[in-house]
Amino acid sequence: MSAWLAIDFGTSNSLVAGAHEKGVFAPIPIDPSSPDPTIMKSVLYSLRRNEWSVGNEAISLYYEAGAEGRVLKSLKKFLPDPSFQGTQIHGQYYSLEDLLARLLRTMRERSEAHMGQDLKKVVLGHPALFSPQIEAHQRALSRLEKSAQIAGFEEIRFCPEPVAAAHNFAKILKSEKIVLVADFGGGTSDFTIIRLRPEGFTEQDVLSLGGISLAGDAFDGSIMEHAVAPFFGSKINFRMPMGSNTLNLPKALVRKLCSPADLMLLGKKEYIEFFRNLQQWSLDKGDAQAIERLELLIEERQGYHLFESIEEGKKMLSSHPKANVNYQYPGIDLDLSFDKAEFNEFSAKTIDAILGALDKTVADSGLSYDQIDLVCCTGGTARIPALNEGLISRLGAAKLELHLPFHAVVNGLAEHAYRYAKEG
C-alpha cells in the first residue's frame, strides 16, 4: 500500500496525518507526553552533546535540568533568512537544515511506529509567503526540502498551508462559496481567497494567496519590547570611558531580545563582557541593575522560560480583561500586569501589518470584502481579540463562521495527500 504522510510543520506546533489509497488517516499521536498527543511542540532540547529530545519531553527536561543545556524554538522562521546558516551547540556545528530535520525525523519515525510501516513520502505544508521576496521564499522551500531529505523522506511534495486548510473547510460546506481562509499561526499569518465547493476545488479556484511573517511570536515580542525588555535594560543610557556621547543598547541586540527564536540563540560569549562593562558605564543605578538582570537572562539561558511566561500572559488576554506576566529566577523578579487596551497598543504595528497583508490578499483576488461569503479561521493566534475585531470590521460578524484552531491544516494536507496516494 502506498501511504503518504501529511506534515503541518509549524513554527510553534507540528502535526502529522496522512493518506493511503483507501482514504485519509487521522492525526497521529506523535507526542505521547503532550496534553493533545497529536500536537507536538516544535521545540528541540539538548542537555549534552549528541543527546536530543523534542516536544513536551524537551521542555520538561529543560526545566528538570534547571535550564542547563540548549533549548531551541521557532527555528522555522530562519528558513528564508540567508544570514542564518546554523549554530554551534555544545561545541558542534549544526546547520539549520540538520536541526529542523531532527524534528521531521522524529515525526516520521513515530508515525512509522504507530502505523507499523515505512513512511517515506510526504506532503509538507508551507506558509503562503515565507518572505515577500520570491527568491527568499524559494530559498526557504529548498531548505525545507533538504531538511525533509535529511529526515529520511524520499518523495516530497508541498502545499501552501491556507490552501490545505481550505480542503478541510470545503467538506463542511453545503453549497459553493467564496471563502477567505485565514491561518494565524506562531510565525506567519497566511491567507487565501478561494472558491470552495463541498466536493473540493481546483487550482483555478485559488483566487489569491498571501501573508506575512508576523503572528504569535511577534505578539509575544511586542509584549517583550514594550513591557518586559525595559526591565532588562533595553532603554538604558550609558557613556563609554573618555566618551562624551550618551549611548543606548544596540538596536540589533534589542531586536534579538524581542524575538523568542533569536533570544535562544544569543551567544553568551559575545555579550557577557559587554554587559559587565555596561554595568560600569551606566549613568544610573537602576540601569546597572537592569543590565545585571540582562546578564543573568543570557548567561543562565533563561530566554525560553521568560517567553513562556510572556506567552501565558498573552493567551490569558484572549479570554480575560487583564493579564499577568509572572517570572521568577534568583536575581530576577518580574511581576507585571497589563490590560487589553495596553496590549493593543504594544502590538498595534503587528496588528496593522497583518490586517494590511489581508487587505492586499483580498485586493489581489480582484474581489471586494462584500463579495466574500464566509471566513474560515485557523491557528492559535486567531484567538487574539484585535485580529477578530479586524475581521469583523471588514466582513461583519455573520460571515465569521468557523474556527478550528490546530487541526485544519494537517487534515487538509491529508486530503491533499490522498490525491497522491490514489495515483500510487
Ligand X SMILES: Nc1ncnc2c1ncn2[C@@H]1O[C@H](COP(=O)(O)OP(=O)(O)OP(=O)(O)O)[C@@H](O)[C@H]1O
Decide if residue 143 touches ligand X (CB under 6 A): no
Q: Which residues of 310-345 are buried (b: 16+ CB within 10 A; e: fewer)?
A: bbebbbebbeeeebebebeeeebebeeebeeebbbe
Binding segment for ligand X (CB under 6 A), chosen from 112-120, 179-187, 337-345, 354-362, is 179-187
In the complex with ligand X, which residue's Cβ is closer, 106 or 282? 106
Work out the angle at residue 132's Cα, subtended by the Cα atoms of residues 129 and 135, and round it to the nearest 5 degrees: 90
Task: Supply the DSSP string of 107-131, one letter for each residue.
Answer: HHHHHHHHHTS---EEEEEE-S-S-
Binding ligand X by CB under 6 A: which of 168, 222, 381, 411?
381
Rg (CA), the chain: 22
**What three-state secondary structure class fits 168?**
helix
**What three-state secondary structure class fits 238?**
strand
Q: Residue 314 binds which one of Mg ion, ligand X, none, with CB within 5 to 8 A depending on kind?
A: ligand X
x/- map, 5-44, ligand X, by CB under 6 A: -----xxxx-------------------------------
Binding segment for ligand X (CB under 6 A), chosen from 101-109, 173-181, 307-315, 410-418, is 307-315
Binding ligand X by CB under 6 A: which of 18, 69, 186, 211?
186
Decide if residue 162 touches ligand X (CB under 6 A): no
CB atoms within 10 A of CB 275: 20
Strand ranges for 230-310 from DSSP E: 237-238, 247-248
Decide if residue 221 touches ligand X (CB under 6 A): no
Terminal CA-to-CA distance of the chain, rounded, Å?
8
Binding ligand X by CB under 6 A: which of 149, 318, 324, 388?
318
Min dist. Cβ of residue 165 to Mg ion (A) = 9
Phi/psi of residue 255, nearest 5 degrees: -60, -40
Q: Residue 41 binds which one of Mg ion, ligand X, none, with CB within 5 to 8 A depending on kind?
A: none
Residue nearest to ligand X (CB): 216
Q: Residue 406 binds which one of Mg ion, ligand X, none, with CB within 5 to 8 A depending on kind?
A: ligand X
Binding segment for ligand X (CB under 6 A), chosen from 141-149, 241-249, 292-300, 311-319, is 311-319
Decide if residue 211 touches ligand X (CB under 6 A): no
Phi/psi of residue 374, nearest 5 degrees: -155, 150
Min dist. Cβ of residue 329 to ligand X (A) = 21
In the complex with Mg ion, which residue's Cβ is closer, 253 or 377? 377
Decide if residue 102 touches ligand X (CB under 6 A): no
Give the separation between CA 379 and CA 12, rounded to whole angstroms.
10
Question: Can you state the angle between helices 268-281 and 285-299, rounded to 10 degrees?
Answer: 170
Decide if residue 10 touches Mg ion (CB under 5 A): yes
Q: Are 43 and 71 in contact (CB under 8 A)?
A: yes
Query: 365: buried, middle or exposed (CB in 10 Å: 19+, 13-18, 0-12)?
Result: buried
Binding segment for Mg ion (CB under 5 A), chosen from 5-13, 26-34, 205-213, 325-333, is 5-13
Query: Which residues lie near Mg ion (CB under 5 A)?
Result: 10, 185
List of residues contacting ligand X (CB under 6 A) = 10-13, 76, 161, 185-188, 215-217, 311, 314-315, 318, 379-381, 383-384, 406
